[in-house]
Structure 1
Amino acid sequence: MHAMQYELTLPADYDMEIIRRRVADRGHLLDDWQGLGLKAYLVRERGMHGSPVNQYAPFYLWNTGAGMNAFLWKGPFQGIVDDFGRPSVRQWSGLAYEEGSAADSAAQVAVVRRQRVPDGVPLTEVMAVAARETERLAGEGGAVLSAAVVDTSRWELIHFSLWENDTPKADGDMYTVLHMSAPGRDRLPG
């Protein structure tokens, strides 16, 4: 499993309805994208859920590197580049994935928690702790799914979770889910 996210931080007075319309018009384009586990179309709006910014920040879980590369180099990503410029695209290796207690529900919010991989701790222990946290989050009431991924160039661990309501039982930056494309969600490795 591979994870990917880019963040488009927009002006404080940006009309976020533009992003909502964009997702409504184009979100379905990845509903059957080969190699995609899921794409959560995420936004943060200044003043909502503690967000200091307006931001469009979709989060992807990929089943295949080939699918991710096709998206970036041959696919819809060019539309983002054409309309907003070329954002930095963060990529992580997958550590753990779990379907949640509310797996059959529509996701309303996402939580992304970033933390540094601590120095002096064996990496196998870091992975085990991340897997247990993924399982714990997935078991919470209202959890749609949970994943843990790591960027080994920065030694940054990400816990990503989706929730059926706006009262998630997870800490981190909270996003509203506008749409979810999940053609290969059932094939994401646990």
Structure 2
Amino acid sequence: MPAMQYKINLPSDYDMNIIKKRIKDNGHKTDRFPDLLFKAYLITEKANGSLTNSYCPLYIWQKSTSMNHFIFDGFFDNILDSFGWQTINIGIPLQVELTDEFSQSQFVLEEYHDIVPQSNLKNFVFQTTEYQDQLARVVIYNPDKWQYVNFTFFKNKPLVTDRTIYSLLHLSLG
């Protein structure tokens, strides 16, 4: 089960309504995509207090063959045509906890952590925070970078100021 995300940073004066319209008009195209557990269409907006404008969709795939199909059979070409060459961050989901209310998510909190060098990893503890009103949590690690990231999904914007909070504009479920 692979995870993927690409982060498209946009100019500070970029009209984010362009991205919102793109998602509104095309987000449904990944609804029920084969072997996609979910795709979260995520953005940050400088006008809403974020440091940057960005478009950063997050995908959780049930099979790597379906991710390969998405990347190499023309679907990712829409991103290349619109935004140019993008690096796709690939990770391994360690934990995927989705509640029955997951589809009501409107915000996603992103928290990065380093996995520092150590003599063994047998008892390594992935730090997570349990939030009272969370609708889902996904923990993804990347041994190539020795990092992991917690994505926590909410209906209401969490009161956290020192981490990235995305607006979730559309949630495609497989």
Q: Same fold (TM over 0.5)?
A: yes
Alignment correspondent of 2:140: 149
Match of 2:170 in 1: 179
Check conservation: 2:5, 2:56, Cα contact below 8 A. Answer: yes
Are 2:26 and 1:35 aligned? Answer: no
Cross-structure match for 1:82: 81
Following superposition, the deviation at residue 142 of structure 1 comes to 2.1
> 2: distance between equivalents of 1:82 and 1:92?
24
Q: Secondary structure at the match of 1:18?
A: helix
Residue pair 2:102, 2:153 contacting (<8 A) in 1 also: no
Q: Which residue of 2 aligns with 1:56?
A: 55
How many residue pairs end up in the alignment? Answer: 174
Deviation of 1:122 after TM superposition, in Å, equals 3.2
Deviations 1:125-149 (A, max 9, x none): 22xx22x73xx53xx3321110111
Matched, 1:12 2:20: no
Structure 2 letter corresponding to 1:14: Y
Distance 1:78 1:105, change over 3 A: closer
Please provide the CA RMSD for this pair: 2.0
Q: Secondary structure at the match of 1:112?
A: strand
1:117 aligned residue = 115
Which runs of no fewer than 5 residues in structure 1 stay unpaired?
Answer: 184-190
Q: Deviations over 1:82-127 (max 9, x none)?
A: 0110110000011111124x6355111011111111222632322x
Q: Is 2:43–2:56's contact at 8 Å kept on the other side of the alignment?
A: yes
Give the Cα–Cα distance (whole angstroms) in 2 for the partners of residues 2 and 170 of structure 1.
29
Which amino acid in the other structure matches residue 82 of structure 2?
D
Report the CA distance shift for 1:123/1:74 in structure 2 as closer, same or farther (over 3 A): same
1:142–1:168 CA contact under 8 A, matched in 2: no
**CA distance in 2 between partners of 1:72 and 1:163 (Å):** 28
Q: How high is the sequence identity, in percent, across the aligned residues?
A: 31
Which runs of no fewer than 5 residues in structure 2 stay unpaired? none
Structure 2 CA distance, aligned partners of 1:41 and 1:114? 19
TM-score, L = length of structure 1: 0.84
